[in-house]
């Protein structure tokens, strides 16, 4: 079966002019669904604009060299692989990509 893709847009006041480009690379599994919901929740909490592409395409997995799923890539760089971070960890990752000069 060919890879599946689903797009989502998260509207936020912060970054509306340059939304984060996030790829959620996952299969149909409970952990993958949990990470998707967590990602949406944290983005909304930060009020960050983002374009999310959820894909189950094995070609994308290979291009990123993924060994474990789920995985998250931001602007083409894998930032999470094979783990469910805490909300605080995900919050910090998203902030560091949107506000690279702030700690």
The pLDDT value given to residue 85 = 96
CA distances from 68 to 31, 87, 99, 101 (A): 12, 20, 27, 30
SS3 at position 63: helix
| Domain extents in the chain | 5-98
Sheet holding 20-25, edge to edge: 5-10, 50-55, 20-25, 71-74, 77-81
**DSSP-assigned beta bridge partners for residue 10:** 50
CA distances from 59 to 38, 44, 64 (A): 25, 30, 9
User: Could you tell me the pLDDT band of residue 4, with boundaries at 50, 70 and 90?
Assistant: low
The pLDDT value given to residue 18 = 78
Output Rg (C-alpha) for the chain, integer angstroms: 13
Average pLDDT over residues 6-13: 66
**What is the tens place of the pLDDT at every residue in 25-49?**
998 889 989 999 999 999 999 988 8
CATH number of the domain at 5-98, please? 3.40.30.10
**What is the tens place of the pLDDT at every residue in 49-73?**
899 999 999 999 999 999 999 999 9
Asked, as a colleague might, if the bond just before 44 is cis with ω within 30 of 0, I would say no
């Amino acid at each position: 079966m060919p890879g599946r893709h689903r797009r989502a847009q998260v509207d936020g006041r912060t970054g509306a002019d340059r939304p984060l480009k996030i790829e959620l690379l996952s299969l149909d599994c409970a952990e993958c669904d949990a990470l998707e919901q967590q990602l949406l929740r944290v983005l909304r909490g930060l009020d960050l604009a983002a374009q999310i592409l959820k894909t189950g395409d094995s070609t994308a997995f290979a291009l990123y060299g993924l060994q474990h799923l789920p995985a998250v890539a931001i602007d083409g760089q894998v930032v999470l692989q094979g783990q469910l971070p805490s909300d605080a960890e995900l919050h910090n990752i998203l902030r560091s990509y949107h506000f690279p000069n702030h700690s």
